[in-house]
């Protein structure tokens, strides 16, 4: 293999693909990046592939001059360090000699010991899964606009559990039903649900299918989405999900990047039962005003008193936020509300849980529905975002 690469584009690709490289593993091949150079006519392409046995990422790099097609398997950390350090070079030449990779700049020459490419574990292609046999064939294939998918993920991913023993909530539920896409996340104390309409590649009468996508995979998907106008092809099998980003997915228009991940096992909680139906207090407020007020009131909280008291007053449509922490002090912030329906109520919330939700809301005006100080609050934005948050007990 001999390839001349645009150094900046190569470094961007290596930085992205490093997220799929195994950090600690007895199998050294999983700490490597597989490089595959191919040539079709005058066009050359370098494919980078990495997997940690749970997540796999395949990236295609077009800013290359492929002089000799071939493959290499080299340690990801060394490749990243060398390409990053050669920051004065516009291009770098990658050339293999048996299992060794030579990286050459104008004034530097690095020899990196690699491994036998044949020892790298096989990683299924999205095209083979879509057209595969009954055993490996995708149960559902559909497409979504990258910008819409990114927004749907962002509005749920923040609410996933961290290091929870209930593995089913260490990911985001993704449910496709006809032309509707729904994503849901919860950590047991709050729940975020976002809905979107699929932009292509899905029959309105297609049967419903759902799976739980790991948090790590969705964080990586967010990094991969660059152009919001790209199409993302999604394929779901019994135990894996594939995201093909950019391109049409056909042989003559392959995906720019393909991310695959094993699915989270387990049953997701019955989330629809969590959404209260009998809230009798409705608050309308400015997103930025209340977000700022919550952040300021939270300045005088600590681990023991993490809650912020929110006192909603119908008279004058006012919200008073207050907090108190022993040996620290007290805070009080007052803001006006755009609208308030119902009786006065005082309720405590973890301030981070409120500001997290307001960060991902697009509409400047937000609705909050309440019932009682010991009942969950509901934040809504438009018809496609619902956020349920449990209150905290304030002494």
Tell me what the mean pLDDT of segment 283-289 comes to: 97
Q: Which two tokens stand for residue 291?
A: 């977000």
23-32, 156-165, 331-340 — which one is most confidently predicted on average? 331-340
2-119 against 275-389: fold identical: yes
Could you tell me the CATH superfamily of domain 126-272?
DNA Polymerase III, subunit A, domain 2 (3.10.150.10)
Rounded to whole angstroms, the Cα distance separating 94 from 31 reads 19
Instruction: Give the whole-number percent of the chain exceeding pLDDT 90.
Output: 82
| The domain defined by 2-119 carries CATH number 3.10.150.10 | yes
List, in sequence order, the alpha helices (H) in the chain. Answer: 7-17, 76-85, 126-130, 146-157, 215-224, 287-297, 351-360
Q: For residue 337, what pLDDT is reported? A: 97
**Contact predicate 281/313, CB 8 Å:** no
334 phi/psi in degrees, rounded to 5: -120, 135
Measured distance CA(256)–CA(58) in Å, rounded: 8
Q: Is the pLDDT of residue 172 over 60?
A: yes
Q: Where are the domains of the chain?
A: 2-119, 126-272, 275-389
DSSP state of 200: B
Q: What letter does residue 42 receive in the DSSP assignment?
A: T
**Superfamily, domain 275-389:** DNA Polymerase III, subunit A, domain 2 (3.10.150.10)
Given a cut of 70, whether residue 336 has pLDDT beyond it is yes
More confident residue, 199 or 85: 85
Average pLDDT, integer, range 280-309: 92
Length of the chain: 395
Average pLDDT, the chain: 92
Name which of 29, 36, 30 is nearest 13 in CA terms: 36
* DSSP conformation letters of 155-185: HHHTTS-SS-S-GGGSEEEEEEETTEEEEEE
Instruction: Report the C-alpha gap between 304 and 344 in whole angstroms.
Output: 27
% of the chain surpassing 70 pLDDT:
95
Mean pLDDT of 138-150: 94
- Cα torsion 355, 359, 360, 363 to 10°: value is 100
Residue 306: what pLDDT? 81
Chain position carrying tokens 């006809």: 178
Q: How confident is the model at residue 184 (pLDDT cuts 50, 70, 90)?
A: very high
In this structure, are residues 108 and 91 in contact, taking their beta carbons and an 8 Å threshold? Answer: no
Q: Does the pLDDT at position 167 exceed 90?
A: no
Helix, strand or coil for residue 262? strand
pLDDT, tens digit, for every residue of 40-96? Answer: 877 899 999 999 999 999 999 998 999 999 999 999 999 999 999 999 999 999 999
* pLDDT, tens digit (0-9, with 9 covering 90-100), for 215-271: 999 999 999 998 999 999 999 999 999 999 987 655 556 899 999 999 999 899 999
Would you state the pLDDT for residue 352? 95
> Terminus-to-terminus CA distance in the chain, angstroms?
69
- Residue 60, pLDDT score: 95
Count of alpha carbons within 13 Å of 71, Cβ hemisphere only? 11
Residue 275 pLDDT class (50, 70, 90 cuts): very high
Round to whole Å and give the CA distance between 379 and 368: 4
- Please, which pLDDT band fits residue 134 given cuts at 50, 70 and 90? low
Give the up-direction half-sphere exposure of residue 266: CA atoms within 13 A in the CB hemisphere.
Answer: 16
Helix axes 76-85, 7-17, angle to 10 degrees: 150
């Amino acid at each position: 293999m001999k390839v001349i690469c645009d150094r900046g584009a190569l470094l961007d690709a290596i930085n992205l693909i490093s997220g799929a490289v195994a950090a600690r593993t007895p199998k050294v091949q999983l700490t490597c990046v597989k490089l595959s150079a191919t040539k079709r006519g005058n066009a050359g392409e370098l494919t980078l592939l990495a997997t940690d046995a749970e997540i796999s990422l395949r990236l295609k790099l077009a800013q290359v001059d492929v002089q000799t097609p071939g493959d290499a398997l080299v340690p990801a950390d060394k490749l990243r360090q060398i390409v990053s350090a050669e920051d004065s070079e516009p291009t770098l030449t990658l050339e293999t000699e048996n299992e060794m990779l030579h990286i050459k700049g104008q004034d530097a020459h690095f020899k990196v010991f690699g491994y036998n490419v044949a020892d790298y574990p096989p990683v299924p292609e999205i095209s083979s899964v879509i057209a595969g046999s009954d055993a490996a064939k995708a149960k559902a294939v559909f497409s979504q606009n990258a910008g819409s998918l990114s927004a749907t993920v962002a509005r749920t991913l923040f609410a996933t559990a961290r290091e929870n023993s209930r593995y089913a909530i260490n990911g985001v539920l993704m449910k496709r039903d006809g032309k509707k896409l729904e994503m849901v996340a919860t950590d047991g104390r709050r729940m975020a649900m976002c809905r979107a309409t699929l932009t292509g590649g899905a029959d309105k009468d297609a049967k419903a299918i759902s799976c739980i996508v790991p948090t790590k995979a969705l964080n990586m998907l967010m990094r991969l989405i660059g152009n919001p106008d790209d199409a993302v092809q999604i394929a779901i099998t019994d135990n894996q999900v594939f995201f093909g980003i950019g391109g049409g997915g056909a042989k003559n228009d392959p995906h720019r990047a393909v991310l695959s991940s094993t699915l989270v096992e387990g049953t997701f909680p019955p989330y629809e039962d969590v959404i209260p139906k009998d809230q009798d207090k409705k608050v309308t407020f400015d997103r930025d005003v209340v977000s700022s007020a919550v952040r300021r009131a939270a300045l005088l909280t600590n681990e023991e008193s993490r809650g912020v008291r929110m006192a909603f007053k119908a008279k004058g449509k006012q919200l008073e936020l207050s907090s108190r922490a022993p040996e620290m002090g007290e805070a009080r912030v007052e803001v006006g509300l755009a609208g308030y329906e119902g009786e006065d109520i005082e309720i405590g919330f973890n301030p981070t849980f409120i500001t997290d939700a307001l960060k991902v809301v697009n509409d400047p005006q937000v609705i909050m529905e309440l019932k009682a100080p010991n009942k969950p609050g509901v934040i809504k934005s438009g018809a496609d975002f619902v956020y349920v948050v449990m209150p905290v007990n304030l002494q």
